[in-house]
Structure 1
Amino acid sequence: ASTESQGPWDSNYMVEDDYSWFVPNKHGAHDFKFGFRYNFTELRRVSQINENGTFTFNTDLPFDAANPRTYAERFSIRTGAYNEYIKNHTNEAFAQDTWRVTPRTTLSLGVRYDLEIIPMDETGNPLFKDPKAYPVDRNNISPRVGLTHALDAEGKSLVRAGYGIFYNRSILGAVDDAIEFAKSTTSAVVMFPTNAADPGPSAGRLPTDPFLANGPVVNRTLLNQLYPPGVPLKNDGTVIFDSPNRQQPYAHQFTAGYVRQIAAQLALHADYVMMRNRDMFLSRNLNPAVRVDTSRTGALTRVDAFGVLGEAYKQQVYLFENTGWSNYDALNLALEKRYSRNWSARVSYSLSKSRGIAENQADRDTYSFLTDQNYDLWTGPSSVDRTHVLSIGARTEIPKTRGANLSTTIRYMSGAPFTIYNSAVDVNRNGELEDPVPVGTYSGTALNGMQNVKFDGKRNGARGPDYFQADVRAGWHLPLQQRRTLELFLDIYNITNRANFDIPILANRDQRVPSTFLVLTQLYGGGGFPRQAQAGVRFAF
């Protein structure tokens, strides 16, 4: 839950109809399905985030008016509340046939069409001659094909494969950034100084910026003079432009698998999964900076590097475009014992690799310098990439206890990737203090700091802690008369009481701050908590 006043709120209206038609004895049995869906969404975005302003300090010492080092070195604030409506029309249609060619072979054929229309006002965007000519991607046709074939008459061995193209929905909360951070606005998020921290406090001098000189107190009089409330002005903060060529991201997905029954109640599964995500959103900075030196406080000069802006802007100007990609490959293995002789179990293992240059629709390439996007450094593992995942689940009924049972779930995951950086230096002088540190092994010096972390010098080139959790349930199921049952159970989560930490938060990946560098502060969401237990009773009638 957010502690700040913000939206969004949305209203959704949908019309949908599906039709099925089974046709036997036409060179095999056919199960036809057709359908369409129309969805209208109206999204209201309201934001008052940072209207009270944020002061950024170079130290955690208490403020002392006589000590220049305790003064803030930068100040940011939203100049007014943001309020916006955006509409989205999505149209979907599909047709498919599940064809039972022979008793041992089934072929699935299908096609789908997706059309997404998001009306946008492109006023002020130099890339649009007509501000009403917002982009619409109309050629999103996605074929699907699947095959299953039993290798023997008994059906003990089965091969399966499938291929399809899948189009993603555009997230309105990402696309509408081109409206919230437009060229002209009454709600800009501005920085003082504009492009870099005031060099005074870190050098033991008083800051010279008027919003910092009097200490951490917001100068509302000066702010209202520069940005009169409710008056649209050119955005002095970050600007985001939509692209005339914006398209819906899509993915090629291919799977191939083999299933073998190796005993009466025991089966082995092996599947290969390949995904190739293309046309993913990755924003490019059209107004990059060149810093005078590699220091974090050095002056910046903004450049219209691609020659499309035609005028000066004070901060970054991002273009929302489809230049991103990512690849995913996985081998999934499973051994499944179906319920018999009072117990069942399943062991599954995944060996996977996911890497690319984009993963979220609001991603921005911050490693670029002028027109060079530096994709060699930006290419790396996806943030959710975990090479090894092992899961074990089992359940047993205890004989001669009239309903007592035990079950367990055990899960292991190798560490997730993250980037180690040093904001004390701007290596490529592009004005972004996120450059990765050199290749090497790094250790934190503070309490709970990670030790001997290997880093390859690129985005997401380090690995966080691994994850292990075992959960256990003990229960008793007692049948009563007239279909009534009584159930008692005791659940113990994380029975080994292992602390499953998530990767260091963004600030704790910064080598410039030894007191927090590589310090683990938060547990893995939804499953990293200390040992917990709960007991329950359920009466069914």
Structure 2
Amino acid sequence: MEVKPSPKQKIFRALMIATATILLVTHPMQSAAQLSTASVNGVIRDQSGAVIPGATVILRNVDTAVAIDTKTNTTGTYGLFNITPGHYTIEVQSSGFSPKKDTTFTLEVSQVATFDFVLTVGSQSSEVTVSSSNAQIDTTTANLGTVITGRQVNDLPLNGRNFTQLLLLTPGVSGANPSQNAGGYTTAVALGSSFSFPAVNGQTNRSNYFLTDGMNNYGTFFSTYAVPPIIDAIQEFKIVSHTDDAEFGSVLGGVVNVVTKSGTNTLHGSAWEYARNAIFDARTYFLPPTAAKAQFHQNQFGGSIGGPVVVPKVYDGRNKTFFFGAYQGFRYLQTSNTPLRVPTAAQLSGDESSWPTQLYNPYTTKPDPAHPGQFIRDAFPGNQLGSFLDPRMVAYAQFVFPMAGPVFDGAGDNAIDTTPVTQEQNEFNVRIDHTFRNGDTAFFRYSFIDSNVNSSGGQPGLPNVTATPARNWGGSYVHVFSPTLVSQVQYARTTVQLNSTTRFDRSTSAIISQVGFSPSFVGQFTAVDGSLLPGPGIANFTGGSGENVNYNPGATNSYQISGSVTKVAGRNVIRLGGGYISAGYATLTSGAQLGFAAQQTGNTNPLDTVNAGDPLASFLINVPNYAEHFNRESNTRPGGVLSAFAQDTWKASDRLTLNLGVRYDVTFIPPFGTESTAGKQGGIETGDVNFNNGTYVLQKLSPPCNVTGVAPCIPGDGTLPANVVVDPRGKIAFNSYNNVGPRFGFAYRIGEKSALKGGFGIVYDNWAAVTQTSQNIGGGWPDVGQQLANNINQPNSGTTTPTVQSQNPFNDNGNSALPGPTPFNQVGFFYDPHLKDPYSEQWNLGAERQLDSSTTVEINYVGSVSKRLGMPGYYNTALLPGSGNPQSRALYPYIAPTYYSRSVGAANYNAFQFSLNRRFNNGLAYQVAYTWSKAMNVGGDDLFQNTTVPTDPYNPAAYGNYSVSGFDLTNILSVNAVYQIPVGRGQRLSTGSHVADYILGNWQFNNIFQAHSGLPFTPYISSDIANTGNLAQNEYEHANIVGNPNKITKRTSAEFFNTAAYVAPAGFTFGTASRNSLRSAGYWGLDSSIFRLFPVGGEREFEFRIEAFNLLNNVVLGQPNNDLNSGMSFGTVNTTANSSRVLQLALKYLF
């Protein structure tokens, strides 16, 4: 489905495309901005307005004394490029004129600063000094983005000192993160920290890209950073989006670029210790009054140092060679009081009388003569399981679960898991910068982190150990050919491992034998010798994931090589460049899992939402609903993203700058499997369902099973089943080669303090989930490395009673699993071989005004239409609702419903954005960011649509599924401020007493206030009422709306919305409630800190800090239960969207 823009949007887009096309055809392609550096340009004139060719322009770094110079060309234009952000002065000299110098100013990351000078006739000795008044507003580009300065990074309160929290201070950034947008994993994050994974300007959370010093620092499997930068090593950062600069691209959302500190001519550094303890924290809102708070200790400590590289009597690097290094350690220990819901002794004896509704016996299922295509069952009298209780499952439960005690909360919890959670992190960062005599510059940086977490695997006695080592390193070299020609080359390397083991702390061999699990289900693993006990997976009960081993030595494994050339030609700044970033993946995973649902012991009448069944009863009578066995040695072949761009920054007049560019990106999707994995489970011999033509596509032909007797193999004599083909290319995916994106922007300077700016561009998403999508097919037929069975033991016209038990859920011979006769009965995570890279047409129009020497204000209208978005979900379900076997009504009746990704999603975003920014001056800095927006999309909100799925996968926008996105927040406000009390020596105020000044002065207050609208969610019913066969993602069935859900006296945790407004849909129909038609509670919170400074001479001082997160201990209720099938729990809330108040103490030494 394609989102249609409004008439106004059509006119705006048409004008932008037409203008860009004409200019691109008639004008050279060029550019001026840099990813991690800044640039300066301008025009030099005399008092008559005539340009001055050959004038010398000198830019000098105040902290390092490094100077770079250039000369104006015949049009009086100059340009300085690839400048490290920092504090500078600029001076202009020309024979016959008095030199002119601009006092110290700041250049920020990705800034394009314009300094025009008018020289007066005079002697070279009579220098004129001015103070720039227009350097703060951007009069060159139309980029959207906010620079977060080093002072903000270091001084604003950050829980866990993770910089991503500060991304939310930028207009257009939503902190909402639906479900699996983070890939189900996170990179090395400090436990308890406020890690943010935002959506930027209406694009999904996975559509952002992370750079450090302009170089790739992107976790390709995580869609976030690979190695987190240390706070005290950050100079500043910026998130750029909706850019008219073609150098930025490959994602639809934002490019986050962190610039690390470099050394200066003097030795500077810091040392710190941040500490948290449970005794300082408030109780959580839903913690029972009689329950004790979990105890924990957290320490974050480290140091940094930077300066010139000096080796006495050997090398003096002042004014040319500098270093900066930082180390940080993190230690976390939390005792756990995790509530568990486990089976009681009575339940384990078969007495289910405590279950409040009637249970039904699936072994008595038979066709309903009164309703053809439906079934009926006999009830369990008194909810007593009797002879149907399976003693093997009782023994299984007694081994896995702790003994039940009295119920102690409203959720039915009756046990406690006291397994402590510990984390140890060590990270360091080192950077070297050097300036050569000819003006060339180079730097190298190495960043490292090791993170180790020990926690519970979901049950007492089931520990999980996770190690996440990550590395990011690289360098850059800038060569100055002439004052008008500069080149840059970069190389970077990024690696992340994610290794996790979950094993019981006692032997499982006896219970595996007692339960009777087949060796092919719980054994024969590559990653571990012996067997792994599967998790029971009982819905609404604490079950854990069972035993599993996941080694991901190549969760991220990439290198980057890139370069650019910048040329000043007349009034044009020409920039050409490109690069390649590789993407690869390697993993070894082993484990098994069971799942038990309610419907196996519920009434088969789909309209009976009361007697829906009990998952525990299904477990005890041994009727599983789900099973999975995975044993995969997965690797991908080389892949990556190739990019090229051309950009022209054309100073059409002294006031008007046009930016014209084009970018080309192509994703080489990493083909799954390598030749070295042939014959191994999870290797190259796998396939993918192509629902475009109903075929199953193999990458590589396997030998016959009657020859090898071991999977992967083709059943029988090797004859391929009908509709199975082999791709002669040896891979599944087809790459997209038409990703050409034009860019156009303008900036018009009005006076000296205002600018009008606008831009249009087409950008492509080359990264979101690309590696995860490519490896999802691993272990599929004719392999058995990934076996997954959904919706088993569901009655149908062929088999009405259960035929599958937990011991051997795939019904193989029990010793050596071989593939089934056809690939079309398996369930997997397949994708369209012709997946396209998503793209977005983006535009913005705004104005910026400088209010005083420190303060600017900016407003923008921001819009976009995005197409070809990835839409995973359950596919090949029935084409229409109806009675009878839904498989007979499927698109391809011979193919079982399965997960399938397609490029059919679409989105639309419109926003008004406002920002007010005061740089630090006279002890005060602040930023205000406000966004009023609406983000619409089709179908689901996250990678695998675990939160919302299309009602009808064949018409994703129908039935109210074109609606606000899961990350849509109508109103977003953030305010941050840093304020130093202006009392004391050198300050505006003084008492006249050194003692009083010392006591009253040296205080600093820092605050972050954030507020936003509630998160959208969908009222649904977890039943396949429409009878489409979608029992894997039955959130597709929305509830019927029959009243006003917002008609409620007061929203409470007991009833957040009017639950009477929803009922179950009629049989064989879809519900009428729209997707994401409800919202949770709005959010607001205040984080504050107080610093007390203790100067000890010179630039040395101690800082004592008290930081409070959620200072006012405001309670924001979380998302309500939105499943109509959950009975009395429907509409209730048992979580909070924020944490209770947390205090952190810190001591810091700066020199």
TM range, smaller chain: 0.7 to 0.9
Among 1101, 1110, 1123, the alignment partner of 1:494 is 1110
Q: Are the counterparts in 1 of residues 688 and 777 from structure 2 also a CA contact under 8 Å?
A: no
Show the 5 A alignment for 1:496-535: 496-504=1112-1120, 508-524=1121-1137, 528-535=1138-1145
SS in 2 for 1:512: helix
The whole-number CA distance in structure 1 between the counterparts of 2:553 and 2:855 is 49
CA RMSD of aligned residues (A): 3.6
Structure 2 unaligned blocks of 5 or more: 1-184, 186-456, 458-544, 600-611, 673-685, 698-724, 984-999, 1063-1071
Range moving further from structure 2, 261-270 or 380-389: 261-270
Structure 1 residue 483 displacement after superposition: 2.6
Structure 1 residue 343 displacement after superposition: 2.6
SS in 2 for 1:465: coil
Show the 5 A alignment for 1:172-251: 172-176=770-774, 179-180=777-778, 182-186=780-784, 187-191=786-790, 193-195=792-794, 208-211=801-804, 218-220=806-808, 223=810, 225=812, 229-233=816-820, 234-235=822-823, 236-251=825-840
Structure 1 residue 244 displacement after superposition: 4.2
Show the 5 A alignment for 1:61-72: 71=621
Among 119, 131, 141, the alignment partner of 2:727 is 131
1:539 corresponding residue in structure 2: 1149
1:215 corresponding residue in structure 2: none
Among 538, 550, 557, the alignment partner of 1:6 is 550
1:279 corresponding residue in structure 2: 868
Among 465, 469, 473, the alignment partner of 2:1089 is 473
Structure 1 residue 335 displacement after superposition: 2.8
The whole-number CA distance in structure 2 between the counterparts of 1:412 and 1:472 is 15
2:594 corresponding residue in structure 1: 53
SS in 1 for 2:1075: coil
Structure 1 residue 502 displacement after superposition: 3.3
Q: Are the counterparts in 2 of residues 490 and 534 from structure 1 also a CA contact under 8 Å?
A: yes
Show the 5 A alignment for 1:328-407: 328-358=909-939, 359-363=941-945, 365-368=949-952, 371-373=954-956, 375-400=958-983, 401-407=1000-1006
Cα distance change of structure 1 residues 195 and 265 upon mapping to structure 2, 3 Å threshold: same
Partner AA of 1:225 in structure 2: D
Structure 1 residue 147 displacement after superposition: 1.5
Partner AA of 1:452 in structure 2: N
Structure 1 unaligned blocks of 5 or more: 199-206, 213-217
Partner AA of 2:862 in structure 1: V
Q: Are the counterparts in 2 of residues 168 and 250 from structure 1 also a CA contact under 8 Å?
A: yes
The whole-number CA distance in structure 2 between the counterparts of 1:481 and 1:241 is 65
Q: Are the counterparts in 2 of residues 251 and 276 from structure 1 also a CA contact under 8 Å?
A: yes
Cα distance change of structure 1 residues 209 and 389 upon mapping to structure 2, 3 Å threshold: same
- The answer as to 2:1101 corresponding to 1:485 is yes
Partner AA of 2:774 in structure 1: D
Partner AA of 1:166 in structure 2: V
- The answer as to 2:1053 corresponding to 1:459 is no
Q: Deviations over 1:208-228 (max 9, x none)?
A: 41445xxxxx323x7453676
Cα distance change of structure 1 residues 34 and 374 upon mapping to structure 2, 3 Å threshold: closer
Cα distance change of structure 1 residues 374 and 354 upon mapping to structure 2, 3 Å threshold: closer
Partner AA of 1:312 in structure 2: Y
The whole-number CA distance in structure 2 between the counterparts of 1:355 and 1:210 is 44
Cα distance change of structure 1 residues 413 and 365 upon mapping to structure 2, 3 Å threshold: closer
Cα distance change of structure 1 residues 130 and 459 upon mapping to structure 2, 3 Å threshold: same
- The answer as to 2:568 corresponding to 1:23 is yes
Q: Are the counterparts in 1 of residues 632 and 779 from structure 2 also a CA contact under 8 Å?
A: no
Identify the structure with bigger relative contact order (alpha carbons < 8 Å, sequence gap 6+): 2
Partner AA of 2:778 in structure 1: E
The whole-number CA distance in structure 2 between the counterparts of 1:188 and 1:62 is 22
Cα distance change of structure 1 residues 100 and 420 upon mapping to structure 2, 3 Å threshold: same
Q: Deviations over 1:7-52 (max 9, x none)?
A: 544252424132242416x0x252x333222233321244445x14
Q: Are the counterparts in 2 of residues 477 and 487 from structure 1 also a CA contact under 8 Å?
A: yes
2:628 corresponding residue in structure 1: 78
Cα distance change of structure 1 residues 42 and 230 upon mapping to structure 2, 3 Å threshold: farther
Among 1050, 1056, 1063, the alignment partner of 1:450 is 1056
1:41 corresponding residue in structure 2: 583
Structure 1 residue 183 displacement after superposition: 4.7
Q: Deviations over 1:451-501 (max 9, x none)?
A: 337888111111111111101111123433243222121111101101234
Structure 1 residue 404 displacement after superposition: 1.0
Equivalent pairs counted in the alignment come to 504
The whole-number CA distance in structure 1 between the counterparts of 2:661 and 2:1094 is 48
Structure 1 residue 288 displacement after superposition: 1.6
- The answer as to 2:843 corresponding to 1:302 is no
- The answer as to 2:744 corresponding to 1:145 is yes
Q: Are the counterparts in 1 of residues 589 and 630 from structure 2 also a CA contact under 8 Å?
A: no
SS in 2 for 1:325: strand
Among 1035, 1039, 1048, the alignment partner of 1:437 is 1039
The whole-number CA distance in structure 1 between the counterparts of 2:906 and 2:1054 is 35
The whole-number CA distance in structure 1 between the counterparts of 2:640 and 2:593 is 36
Q: Deviations over 1:137-172 (max 9, x none)?
A: 1111112222111111x2x22111122211112423
Q: Are the counterparts in 1 of residues 812 and 818 from structure 2 also a CA contact under 8 Å?
A: no
Cα distance change of structure 1 residues 445 and 427 upon mapping to structure 2, 3 Å threshold: farther
- The answer as to 2:1010 corresponding to 1:411 is yes
The whole-number CA distance in structure 2 between the counterparts of 1:188 and 1:479 is 65
Cα distance change of structure 1 residues 114 and 372 upon mapping to structure 2, 3 Å threshold: closer
Among 659, 666, 672, the alignment partner of 1:115 is 666
Structure 1 residue 448 displacement after superposition: 4.2
Q: Deviations over 1:312-369 (max 9, x none)?
A: 23x3145432111011111111233444454333322110101111544444954127
Q: Deviations over 1:190-234 (max 9, x none)?
A: 136355699xxxxxxxx941445xxxxx323x7453676442334
Q: Which has the larger radius of gyration?
A: 2
SS in 2 for 1:176: helix
The whole-number CA distance in structure 2 between the counterparts of 1:244 and 1:466 is 41
1:202 corresponding residue in structure 2: none
The whole-number CA distance in structure 2 between the counterparts of 1:84 and 1:163 is 41
Q: Are the counterparts in 2 of residues 421 and 437 from structure 1 also a CA contact under 8 Å?
A: yes
1:203 corresponding residue in structure 2: none
Q: Are the counterparts in 2 of residues 56 and 72 from structure 1 also a CA contact under 8 Å?
A: no
Question: Under a length normalisation based on structure 1, what TM-score does the superposition of the two structures give?
Answer: 0.81
Cα distance change of structure 1 residues 431 and 80 upon mapping to structure 2, 3 Å threshold: closer
Cα distance change of structure 1 residues 458 and 483 upon mapping to structure 2, 3 Å threshold: same
The whole-number CA distance in structure 2 between the counterparts of 1:123 and 1:326 is 27
Partner AA of 2:847 in structure 1: Y
Structure 1 residue 522 displacement after superposition: 3.5
Question: Under a length normalisation based on structure 2, what TM-score does the superposition of the two structures give?
Answer: 0.40
The whole-number CA distance in structure 2 between the counterparts of 1:329 and 1:494 is 31
Range moving further from structure 2, 529-538 or 90-99: 90-99
Among 167, 186, 205, the alignment partner of 2:764 is 167
1:201 corresponding residue in structure 2: none
Q: Are the counterparts in 1 of residues 897 and 1029 from structure 2 also a CA contact under 8 Å?
A: no
Q: Deviations over 1:498-526 (max 9, x none)?
A: 1234324xxx32111124323333443xx
The whole-number CA distance in structure 2 between the counterparts of 1:62 and 1:137 is 45
SS in 2 for 1:486: strand
Q: Are the counterparts in 2 of residues 79 and 190 from structure 1 also a CA contact under 8 Å?
A: no
